[in-house]
Homo-oligomer: A and B are copies of this chain.
Amino acid sequence: MTTNARTLLTIITEASIESKLIHEIESLGAHGFTITEARGKGQRGVRNADWTTQTNIKIEIICTPDTATKISSHLQENYFQYYAMIMFTHEVSVLRANKF
């Protein structure tokens, strides 16, 4: 069984921007994504307001390291200042690497 290394990029953010985000993520090279409903608490960008009461989503994307960097740079530039958003990556082993 041959496996390949890919990056799992996780984005946790406000549900209200889901459609816009997904569109941009696909434009930047993601071949698929998984979304789960989440809730949580954190601190919000420059406004530092509580992030308690919002509906959040967790978006997970398996992609090449290059695509992960493209997506996270884009989100950092365009969303970090205005939306509650955290983002992290780690390496995973996948089968059928051509899908990602």
A residues near B, CB below 8 A? 1, 3, 6, 8, 10, 12, 22, 31-43, 51, 56, 58, 62, 69, 72-73, 76, 80, 86-96, 99
Contacts and interface: CB of A to CB of B under 8 A. Distances in A.
Nearest to A56: B34
Q: A interface, by DSSP: helix, strand, loop or mixed?
A: strand
Nearest to A41: B32
Contact of A35 (B38, B76, B87, B96): B38
A55 to B, nearest CB: 12
A36 B62 CA distance: 18
A12 B40 contact: no
A89 B88 contact: no
18 contacts: A1-B76, A8-B88, A10-B92, A12-B34, A22-B41, A32-B42, A32-B86, A34-B39, A36-B37, A36-B38, A36-B58, A42-B99, A43-B99, A80-B96, A87-B94, A88-B94, A90-B92, A90-B93
